[in-house]
Structure 1
């Protein structure tokens, strides 16, 4: 008898569900003569950044948000970029500001993020928004998008996190640290692992829920995962594939092919956390619009 495969936690499905709800909210705002607007700043011509922005703008169009893409050459000075952010901060018609990362090396990313009005920081990276999360679930107004997407996937599939052993592999400011805080806010027992962790397998193999966000293709293997665990794969990596038209394929941070036979549920990559990140960015834009208009 063939072993039963894991349930697929479909990020595209959850994203579609989220965007449908947002669409109704946008209609409600427009009935009050409030038109949500997101300004996206792109510096340079990084192909991955251009692709990500295309997805974001497509979702804006779908729900009825005005999106404005502002392009700068890679040689723009830090001062010029900061001046543009100041201008957008003062513009009452703009509700969300997103600076697509990464930025060229001569520009200090931290300085740019901190220059954005925290209420317009739809990426959720500003220290004010990160800091508020530590106060509890009720303060997660503008949370980082990928962690918010992970929480939404778990909620959509009715996966209870209360008291669960959750191991997070990766401690980035964008995913690992904030999702650890958000899960602690929901009464999970959280372990965060990183490059200095001793005996990583010990921690991953006892997790009821394993979240992996390190950017290394197929790093987590089946022997590192507990039977019946829930696996959230945040990674997106290009690996060589001579059989593909592009000579590469996209894969996550976990060995999906083998872990799917062992886990209870798993997100695919692509098609898991990626669509949810975009959906939560759109949701943050609506939240920012409401805050700026004193609706919440």
Structure 2
């Protein structure tokens, strides 16, 4: 096998994670009261246990109390209700899967949106925000992985800070291979809201997300497309892969020279030769998702205290 002719640079997110952790620690230090993050673990899933330990360690380093509750699936709903009413708890997270079916969606909807650090309660979206002046307006909580990827893109410098908010990704075509509610969809909406044209790919095909003005107000809309994965990869300056399945593996021959590639899925969805054409390749998101989680916790704290 021939040795790859390297053109681009492999970028690891650990430096960014350390930078964000330092910023979070400073923000936490300036708070009048200590924060408490409660986490519910009701499965034997090895990945969940590992994530819980990583979250515990990060919270300890930053100065946040982390309360991990191990329980059975049938007790999760009861604990969520109690934590929703507990004023000493500022954020709630639940490790999924619990049941692995629609009952998990019901559990997600039980978490108080004001304490939903994972952004999984669907009522905590921009479409679910009310304008009741008696209550603080809820900004939508961005799910952690989507927020982590957005942070990477900002770190890589593709946002044009000289442009107005809502236009900082003008001219960018971005392919996101994933359209789940917790990764691909919120990420597509985030990037399109900054002016990018986003090609969202999943098993059902390609949807194109773009922002448009409706009665003078920017709104992200999606339209179906007949294009294939290959078509949109060829058009994109950024490719984000977050589906751990060989069907969605990105063929290096499709990628434009100079493209930025980010691997989010557990599987390696880019070939080893990707750096022959990509200008930058980020092989993993890593613990940046925990940094995003704790940033969401601080946002929730602002709402609870207002």
TM-score, reference length from structure 1? 0.84
Please tell me whether the aligned partners of residues 168 and 212 of structure 1 are also in contact (alpha carbons under 8 angstroms): yes
1:206 aligns to what?
235
Question: How far, CA to CA, are the matches of 1:202 and 1:232 in structure 2?
Answer: 18
Q: Equivalent residues in 2 for 1:154-233 (5 A)?
A: 154-160=153-159, 161-197=169-205, 199-216=228-245, 219-233=249-263
Task: Measure the CA separation in 1 of the matches of 2:129 and 2:10.
Answer: 31
- Selected match of 1:131 from 104, 114, 126: 126
1:28 alignment counterpart? 30
**Would the aligned equivalents of 2:147 and 2:292 in 1 still touch at CA under 8 Å?**
yes
Matched residues in 2 for 1:168 and 1:113: separation? 24
Equivalent in the alignment of 1:264: 279
Q: Deviations over 1:98-130 (max 9, x none)?
A: 000111247701110110000100001111223
CA offset digits 1:50-85 (Å, max 9, x no partner): 011111111111100100000013xx32xx321110
Kindly report which structure 2 residues correspond to 1:1-296, keeping only aligned pairs within 5 A, or say none: 3-29=5-31, 32=32, 34-73=33-72, 76-77=73-74, 80-105=75-100, 108-131=103-126, 141-160=140-159, 161-197=169-205, 199-216=228-245, 219-237=249-267, 252-255=268-271, 257-268=272-283, 272-294=284-306
Structure 2, unmatched stretches of 5+, are 131-136, 160-168, 206-226
Deviation at 1:22, TM superposition (A): 0.3
Shift of 1:142: 1.8
* TM-score for the superposition, normalised by structure 2: 0.81
CA RMSD in angstroms, aligned pairs only: 2.2
Question: Residue 241 of structure 1 corresponds to which residue in structure 2?
Answer: none
CA contact (8 A) 2:275 2:281 kept: yes
Distance 2:195 2:17 in 1: 25
CA distance in 1 between partners of 2:89 and 2:60 (Å)? 16
- Deviation, structure 1 residue 133: 9.4
Report the Cα distance in structure 1 between the residues aligned to 2:255 and 2:146, rounded to whole angstroms. 21
- Count of residues in Structure 1 that have an aligned counterpart in Structure 2: 266
Q: Name the CA distance, whole Å, in 2 between partners of 1:42 and 1:263.
A: 39
